[in-house]
Amino acid sequence: MYAGIETGGTKTVCAVGSEGRVFARVQFPTGTDPESLADQCAEFFADHPVTALGLGTFGPCDPDPDSPTYGHILQTPKPGWTGADLLGLLSARIAVPMAMTTDVNAAALGELRYGAGRGLHSLVYITIGTGIGGGAIIRGRLLQAGQHPEMGHMLLPQSTGPGVCPYHRNCWEGLASGPGMQARSGVPAQDIADDDPAWILEAQIVATALHNITCILGPQRIIIGGGLGSRKALHEHLPALLDESLAGYLPSPSLRVPELGGDAGVVGALTLAQDHRPG
Amino acid sequence: MYAGIETGGTKTVCAVGSEGRVFARVQFPTGTDPESLADQCAEFFADHPVTALGLGTFGPCDPDPDSPTYGHILQTPKPGWTGADLLGLLSARIAVPMAMTTDVNAAALGELRYGAGRGLHSLVYITIGTGIGGGAIIRGRLLQAGQHPEMGHMLLPQSTGPGVCPYHRNCWEGLASGPGMQARSGVPAQDIADDDPAWILEAQIVATALHNITCILGPQRIIIGGGLGSRKALHEHLPALLDESLAGYLPSPSLRVPELGGDAGVVGALTLAQDHRPG
């Protein structure tokens, strides 16, 4: 049995399981006190003996095992969390080998092994909701170079803005996240009907970003989830728009919604633990 | 002793060496007859016994060892080369273990191990000349997912075009390659003086592309070579423009010119052979 933890911006999920199955789970608010969150996690796992633990966390975080701040949360607007040594707090309470990555990398791993990416070696997982994030598995390995990907902040050609990113204004997240879509439409993204042309424009922006991901990473498949990212109104336009954008120069990767739905992250965290088991 | 071959669009270099040093080399036109090129390579290596061979080739090519067309050149405008089984032609003539990748991935490997990337684990190598290409090493491993990167074809925000890419018009290569720069300036890029403001605009376009590479790959360093890419007039503007574009959201990777200069590719091919040696 393995332990998986997914810490999100608002909620944290702890799960016990193996081989893609979750046998027990608990969920609580992530809150503003990392010590108290670690206590709650430890309490759950005290009742569920495990041999290794995987963590997929919100960012920015440091997923570099060679870094002195491995497993820490970096500068974040989230109160109480800047500089928190999340992995250290867990290690002090739960005495098993641990591995960590970003929440979206964990979701990519979960989908690759047990979801919409089974049988593949290279995929990208994108979530589109209040923000846009991306994780990737390349040849079976998590994409974690100098720093973790921040795919949502790439810059794109069309300027249908003004986008809403406080750093880059018209980056992908600035234009195509929920708040970006709302800024264009005047209504919350979740209230936009499936037949509204706003989805065509949204799909055009997303297709351009997928074009760039294809040029830089060349994945076999791109899985697009999240509140907006899972919408049928988006997916029905995407494949043709991506083909059109790549213009035959490169084959398009296949596009899918997550098979594991909201469980992709925690199943990925369990998978990370499983891969990291001692011996 | 290892064998390294770099097949470029116009010339092919064969080298014998190890540990980043080249002990013997020969160079000939790539030409339009793959069989004859393989014969010339075999002739050179017949006089220089080697234990393994590494190939870095122009593309598009298939660098996926699990693919039935591994080592083949794919659809290309280059006469005589579409579908050529380059690695197979070499294997039939030179009986040593072989590994192959793209020319730019080979250059990235060469620079990582013996050039401007020594001591690092993750870098991107960009060449800017008549085209734009990129290769990457992530955590010591060549970036080779479903298909090799085609970074030059990513789409960018500014439209100073019209760019010259026959597929995407205003992609990075369309805007910032030599022909793209010439289309804007009216003179060949190599004739544009270092103090011409055309280099500021060129650097702005390149900085935007490096922004996207940073968001998607997060390398520790980006090495920029090639006829235009090595120009001091470009490099003196790039670091500040990249910082400005990332706007403090992410740290900028360090930027360098290749230390191995025009040898990066063939040294990388030798390194590939060295890593691939039997036992």
Per-residue three-class SS string for A10-61: CEEEEEEEECCEEEEEEEEECCCCHHHHHHHHHHHHHCCCCCCEEEEECCCE
- Burial-class residue B79 by CB neighbours within 10 Å (0-12, 13-18, 19+): exposed
Farthest CA pair distance, chain A: 55
Question: How far is A142 from A140, CA to CA, in rounded Å?
Answer: 7
Question: How far is A114 from A110, CA to CA, in rounded Å?
Answer: 6
Residues of chain A whose C-beta is under 8 A from some C-beta in B?
121-122, 134, 138-139, 141, 143-157, 159, 167-168, 170, 208, 211-213, 215-220, 245-251, 253
**Tokens for B82?**
């579409």
pLDDT digits (tens, 9 = 90+) for B55-110: 999 988 999 888 999 999 998 888 999 999 999 999 999 999 999 999 999 999 99
**Tokens for A197?**
């042309």
Q: What angle, rounded to 10 degrees, do the helices at B178-185 and B198-217 form?
A: 140
Residues 6+ away with beta carbon under 8 Å from A267: A4, A15, A17, A20, A22, A110, A113, A114, A115, A260
A256, β-bridge pairs: A223
In what order do the strands lie in the sheet containing A254-256? A141-142, A132-138, A123-128, A221-225, A254-256
Quick one: which H or E segment has residue B65?
Answer: none
- What letters, b where the CB count within 10 A reaches 16 and e where it falls short, cover B10-33? eebbbbbbbebebeeebeeebbee
Q: Which of B134, B146, B152 sits opposite A219 (nearest CB)?
A: B146
Rounded to two decimals, the pTM is 0.95
- Burial-class residue B151 by CB neighbours within 10 Å (0-12, 13-18, 19+): buried
Scanning every residue of chain B, which has its alpha carbon at the shortest distance from the alpha carbon of A64?
B139
Among candidates A246, A270, A255, which has minimal Cα distance to A100? A270
Q: What residue ranges define each of the domains in chain A, with the CATH number in brackets?
A: 2-106+262-275 (3.30.420.40), 116-258 (3.30.420.40)
- pLDDT number for residue B279: 46
Question: How far is B128 from B238, CA to CA, in rounded Å?
Answer: 14
Find chain A residues with C-beta within 8 A of B167's C-beta: 246-249
Find chain A residues with C-beta within 8 A of B173's C-beta: none
ipTM (interface predicted TM): 0.94
- Below-70 pLDDT ranges, chain A: 159, 277-279
Scanning every residue of chain A, which has its alpha carbon at the shortest distance from the alpha carbon of B77?
A249
Cβ B157–A157 below 8 Å, yes or no?
yes
Q: Which region among A124-133, A226-235, B157-166, B220-229 has the lowest average model confidence (pLDDT)?
A: B157-166
In this model, does residue B159 exceed pLDDT 90? Answer: no
Among candidates B137, B53, B47, which has minimal Cα distance to B87? B53
Find which of B216, B244, B250 to mutate to test the A interface (most A CBs within 10 Å of its CB): B216
* DSSP per-residue letters across chain A: -EEEEEE-SSEEEEEEEETTEEEEEEEEE--S-HHHHHHHHHHHHHTS--S-EEEEE-SSB---TTSTTTT-B-S-SSTTTTT--HHHHHHTTS-S-EEEEEHHHHHHHHHHHHSTTTT-S-EEEEEESSSEEEEEEETTEE--SSS---GGG-B-S-------BTTTBSBHHHHHSHHHHHHHHSS-GGGS-TT-THHHHHHHHHHHHHHHHHHHH--SEEEEESTTTT-HHHHTTHHHHHHHHHTTSSPPPEEE--SSGGGHHHHHHHHHHHHT---
- What letters, b where the CB count within 10 A reaches 16 and e where it falls short, cover B202-234? bbbbbbbbbbbbbbbbbbbbbbbbbebbbbebb
- How close A214 comes to chain B (CA, Å)? 8
**Tokens for B112?**
């990582």
- How close B275 comes to chain A (CA, Å)? 18
A3, β-bridge pairs: A16, A53
Q: Which of A139, A149, A220 sits opposite B218 (nearest CB)?
A: A149
Contact by Cβ (8 Å): B251, B239: no
Contacts A–B by Cβ distance under 8 A: 128
Cβ B215–A249 below 8 Å, yes or no?
no
Cβ B155–A247 below 8 Å, yes or no?
no
- pLDDT number for residue A147: 83
Among candidates A163, A167, A166, which has minimal Cα distance to A209? A163
Question: How far is B6 from B20, CA to CA, in rounded Å?
Answer: 15
Q: Which of A148, A168, A218 sits opposite B148 (nearest CB)?
A: A218
Q: Which of B156, B168, B216 sits opposite A217 (nearest CB)?
A: B216
**Tokens for A32?**
């503003």
- What letters, b where the CB count within 10 A reaches 16 and e where it falls short, cover B166-191? eebebbbbbbbbbbbbbbbbeeebee
Residues of chain B whose C-beta is under 8 A from some C-beta in A?
121-122, 134, 138-139, 141, 143-157, 159, 167-168, 170, 208, 211-213, 215-220, 245-251, 253
Question: How far is B264 from B254, CA to CA, in rounded Å?
Answer: 18
Helix (H, G, I), strand (E, B) or coil at B56: strand
